[in-house]
């Protein structure tokens, strides 16, 4: 279902790179929510009421935790001067990476919880620490453009300021250089590791079912691109 939804979204609705209007972004966001609700209804019908409620709880939780991600993405694209029409390409790659990363995190997390009961208390303590950190000045939402991830990415890859054709790499002065689109993709993937650090432990506090834990996270992540364009249109 996830693969089919991604293919339809990319090959039909985002076949051509262009700026996404607020109206279109809101319609697409509503579409992703509808698909997620339909999938949750299928789980509720096929796996039982408890499994269905676990899916919806995990979905709402991850959707809530993803809201601050949107503003971090906005700052990253602004700092790197990525044109509006090419931001979707970086976000699409970021979503693919996030889906793979979340799968690994969920599988490893559930294996550890099954093998070591005490690991649940460590995750609980970690979530409490994250909550306290977000209440204090200097949380992860402040000045992501100063993050070490962005600085390292800019040092590793020779970067050009051109974004010709929305490509990841361009040859300039005889050298292969990364475009701001590729740097944005690298930073998005690295930032998702940080975001998953609280998302995965949180969903594992709701369910230990690998399928439900991953699918609820995945469907919340799938709608991030449309939600980003809706927020970006406001700013």
The Cα 70–Cα 208 span in angstroms is 28
The mean predicted confidence, pLDDT, of the chain is 81
Mean pLDDT over residues 39-57, rounded?
Answer: 95
Residue 169 backbone phi and psi in degrees, to 5: -135, 145
- Flag whether pLDDT at 48 surpasses 90: yes
The token pair at 89 is: 């390409």
Rounded Cα–Cα distance for residues 221 and 176 (Å): 32
Whether pTM > 0.75 for this model: the answer is yes
Return the exposure string of 135-150: e unless at least 16 CB atoms fall within 10 Å of the residue's CB, then b: eeeeebeeebeebebb
pLDDT of 89 above 60: yes
106 φ, ψ (degrees, to nearest 5)? -65, -45
Per residue in 126-181, pLDDT (tens digit) is: 667 766 766 766 555 445 556 666 677 777 777 778 877 778 888 877 778 888 88
Q: For helices 210-222 and 180-204, give the axis angle rounded to 10 degrees.
A: 140
Handedness of CA 134, 136, 142, 147 (dihedral sign): negative
What is the percent of the chain where pLDDT is above 90?
Answer: 17
- Stated length of the chain: 235
Q: Is the separation of the CB atoms in 73 and 95 below 8 Å?
A: no
> What is the CA angle 105-109-114, rounded to 5?
155
Q: What is the mean pLDDT of residues 94-115?
A: 84
């Amino acid at each position: 279902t996830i693969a089919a939804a991604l293919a339809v979204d990319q090959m039909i609705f985002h076949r051509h790179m262009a700026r996404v209007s607020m109206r279109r972004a809101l319609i697409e966001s509503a579409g992703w929510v509808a698909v997620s609700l339909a999938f949750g209804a299928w789980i509720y019908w096929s796996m039982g009421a408890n499994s269905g409620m676990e899916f919806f709880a995990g979905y709402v939780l991850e959707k809530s935790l993803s809201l601050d991600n949107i503003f971090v993405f906005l700052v990253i694209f602004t700092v790197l001067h990525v044109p509006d029409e090419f931001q979707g390409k970086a976000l699409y790659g970021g979503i693919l990476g996030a889906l793979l990363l979340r799968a690994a995190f969920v599988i490893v997390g559930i294996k550890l919880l099954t093998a070591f009961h005490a690991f649940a208390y460590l995750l609980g303590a970690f979530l409490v620490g994250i909550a306290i950190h977000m209440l204090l000045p200097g949380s992860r939402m402040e000045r992501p453009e100063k993050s070490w991830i962005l600085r390292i990415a800019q040092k590793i890859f020779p970067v050009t300021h051109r974004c010709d054709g929305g490509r990841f790499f361009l040859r300039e002065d005889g050298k292969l250089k990364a475009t701001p689109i590729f740097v944005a993709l690298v930073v998005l993937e690295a930032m998702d590791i940080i975001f998953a650090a609280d998302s995965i432990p949180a969903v594992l506090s709701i369910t230990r079912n690998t399928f439900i834990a991953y699918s609820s996270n995945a469907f919340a992540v799938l709608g991030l691109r449309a939600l980003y364009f809706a927020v970006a249109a406001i700013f």
